[in-house]
Every structure is written in C-alpha cells, then in structure tokens.
A = this chain, B = another copy of it.
Amino acid sequence: MSKPKQVTIVDVAEEAGVSIATVSNVLNRGGIRSSKETIRKVEQAAERLGYRRNTMAAGLSRNKTYEIGLIVPGLNGYYGQLAEHLQVEAHNRGYHLSVFSSGGFDPEIERRNLEVLQQRRVDGLICHGLAMGFESTRSIVNSGTPLVLINGWDWPEDIAIGAVNLGFASACEQSVKLLLERGCRTLCYVSSKRSKAIDEQRHIGFIRGMERYGNGINYEVADAKDLDVDVFLRKMREGHPAPIGIVAFDDHVALRLICGTLRLGIELPEEMKIVGINNDYIAEHSYPGLTSWDIPYTFQAQMAIDKLLSKLSNQQAAEQDEREINVPLTLIERHTTNALKGGVNEHVAKGN
C-alpha cells in the first residue's frame, strides 16, 4: 500500500522475455525499429504490468527534461488564461509546462520559483512581467537556460530577443482615436501602476494617441489603486467638457467605473464612454456592454512556445531575423462607446 514498488523496464523486460534496451526502444518510439513481434510482446507486457516510464530517470539519462517553466504574476484573469493556453500548446509539442505564480510581483517568491525551476533543470523558461531586475534575469540567460519573455517591452535586447509582446500600446492609442471619433472632448487613462510594465505600455500608447490625434485636447491619468471611483467620476464630470472618454487599464477596472456611473446616474454612452482591455467575461456581460480589446490567447501561446522551442534546437543559430514578435489585439465594440446618442447599431445590440 505504501509505495508498492513501481514497475520498471526491468520488470517489463523479464515479462516480455527481452532485454531492457529493447523495451526502452519500443516504448519510446524514437529509436531503432523493432520487429512487429517484439513490439507486440513488449507492449503487452507493459500493459499487463501497468508500466509507466519514470520521468526523472529518463530526464536524468538523456540530460533533457521536456519540461518548461512558466512564471506569471498570478493565476487570475488574463494570466490564468495565458497559462492555460501555454499549457495546451506546450503539451501539443511534447513538453510539460510547470506553472508558477509569483504572487503578484513579489521578487522574493519569484526568486524562489526560479531557483526551483533551475533545480528541476527545465529546458526553457517563459516569463511574464518579471519583478526582478535585468541583471538577475541576464544571469539566468547566461546560465544556459533559454528564456522567452512575454510582454518584455522595455528589456535590454540581449535578454528580450524573441520576446512575444502584445500590442497594448497601439490598442490604447487606437482607443484614444476611437473615443475622439465618437465625440469625446476630455480623455482619461485609468492606470494600474502595480502591474508594472503591463501598465506602462498602455500608458505610453494612451499618451501617443493623445499626441497624435488629440489636437491639444485635455487629458488626465489616474491610478486605479485606492481610487475613490465616485469622487473621481464626479470630478471628471464637473470639471471637464463632456462627453468624457475613459481608457481603463483592464475590464476589471472598467467594471468599477461602469458601476460608478450607474451609481451616480451618469448616462453611459452619452455623458461618458469607456473602453476596457482583455475582453473578459465582464466585458461581455456587464451592463452596459463594455467595449474592449480581445486577446488572441492561442496565437500568443503558440508564438511563445514556438520561440522557445526554436531557441532550444538552434544552438544560438540565426533566428536573428525576427527579434520581437508583436501580437495585435482586436477591438470588440459594445455599448460603452456608442456614438453620440442612442445610435445603437446591430453590432452593439448584439454585443450586449
């Protein structure tokens, strides 16, 4: 009951009446072909005994784990989705994805996780929004473990080569453009600074949008953390020309804002317009329906895994051509960005 000696290839070999090497051969397919007969015998023996290959022994022997590590700040919302998709893609390519959450950008936890992953001799690493500095990260890279960054915009080139970046900046830029086109006369970006680079990038895009399309129009930036939504909204409405357009850090933040407008009796598409990011469950089901940017998780995950695997095979080879790959988001319009008044078009009607 307590640790009934697991069956090994030795057992299978005996049972099948062949050598352990043969067993290893037929059971991992890659190697030399065996006679039909042998294959059958081995497979049946394995089946009969309930053999299961010992990952550790295999990894130890061939000096390769087929395990890749993932470090994300958390498991909720966007990060959870990403992790899930990465897991699927990794699996599809014969790899195991070990998921680690760094508990919301805690550098300490991040270090520990990294240590564990290195000890596990993972073949590669995918990191998202690292809290630790460049130097620490560089030391990983130099230690020989291939690294793919997701959303590592502001990282030094030697580390970020092959990074997979989501187009948050241009999404925000386009959000600004959209809001202006919809008639907004004041804009605001509600940030989430604790999300670090993820936020920074949106901010940059927002500013760029203002510079490019704003024509000197008034804009503000507020941080969601500790934000008193009601006070904020009231101030926006009273102190600035309407309608007011808001770019929210993500759909969660947007939900808070939407609820604020409901509470204060602010007319949503008329007096104020909001666009979120992530196209969460929230965006689809909130009332009014929230305009948001959809993330192509599957594509993103594929890109990341592909990048990593290519780094694994090509020993430092020429993948120089494509340094960073950019994954664009797509806008899903819903009610919160309707044009001036009651212009409910089909898309919007469906979206909510």
Residues on A close to B: CB < 8 A?
1-4, 6, 50, 52-57, 59-60, 63, 65, 74-77, 80-81, 83-84, 87-88, 91, 96, 98-101, 103, 112, 115-116, 118-121, 143-144, 252, 255-256, 258-260, 262-263, 281-282, 285-287, 315-316
Copies of this chain in its oligomeric complex: 2
Return A224 CB to nearest CB of chain B, in Å: 11
Which listed residue, B88, B118, B281, touches A103 by the CB 8 Å rule? B88
Known: A80-B75, A84-B75, A87-B100. A121 touches B55 (CB 8 A): yes
Provide the residues of chain B in CB contact with A88, threshold 8 Å.
103
A60 touches B57 (CB 8 A): yes
A144 touches B287 (CB 8 A): no
Return A241 CB to nearest CB of chain B, in Å: 26
Task: Supply 13 further A-B pairs (C-beta < 8 A) apart from A55-B56, A76-B81, A259-B287.
Answer: A1-B316, A2-B315, A3-B63, A52-B118, A54-B60, A54-B119, A76-B80, A76-B84, A99-B99, A252-B281, A260-B287, A262-B287, A263-B287
Cβ-closest chain B residue relative to A88? B103
B74 touches A84 (CB 8 A): yes
Which listed residue, B83, B112, B144, B286, touches A2 by the CB 8 Å rule? B144
Known: A255-B285, A316-B1. A121 touches B56 (CB 8 A): yes
Chain B CB within 10 Å — which of A4, A52, A103 has the most? A52
CA distance A74 to B83 in the complex (A): 10
Provide the residues of chain B in CB contact with A54, threshold 8 Å.
60, 119, 121
B1 touches A120 (CB 8 A): no
Which listed residue, B4, B144, B262, B316, touches A144 by the CB 8 Å rule? B4
Which listed residue, B57, B76, B120, B258, touches A77 by the CB 8 Å rule? B76
CA distance A262 to B287 in the complex (A): 7
Provide the residues of chain B in CB contact with A84, threshold 8 Å.
74-76, 101, 103
CA distance A112 to B95 in the complex (A): 12
